[in-house]
Amino acid sequence: MQDNITRYSEKDIELILTKHLGERYASYRQIWNSVNYLDFPNFPIHIDFELNDFCNQSCIMCPRNLKSHPNINYRFSNKHILDFNIFKKLLMKV
């Protein structure tokens, strides 16, 4: 039986994505890999937007998981949605 699962290293993934996405991606990854906590660039190299506050899962890495993170000091799962106009304004600032 043939094993159809292929495992790639992080370097393999970077090479594949650079091949498909080009030099701009390679430049982004070079900046990403070179950033340290004492020397941040003057622009964000990665942004995560939380578009809604609806999650009812219990992913172990998520701070919303009260079993893994019982001392959360803010409210969550308020069923809020990020307003699209605010989202557009945020993107225009980036």
Residues 49-82 pLDDT 10s: 888 777 776 777 776 777 777 777 766 667 788 8
pLDDT in tens, 22-37: 999 998 888 888 877 6
| Domain map (residue ranges) of the chain | 8-37, 48-94
Helix spans in 1-94 (H): 10-21, 23-34, 84-93
Whole-prediction pTM: 0.40
Residue of 85 and 73 predicted with greater confidence: 85
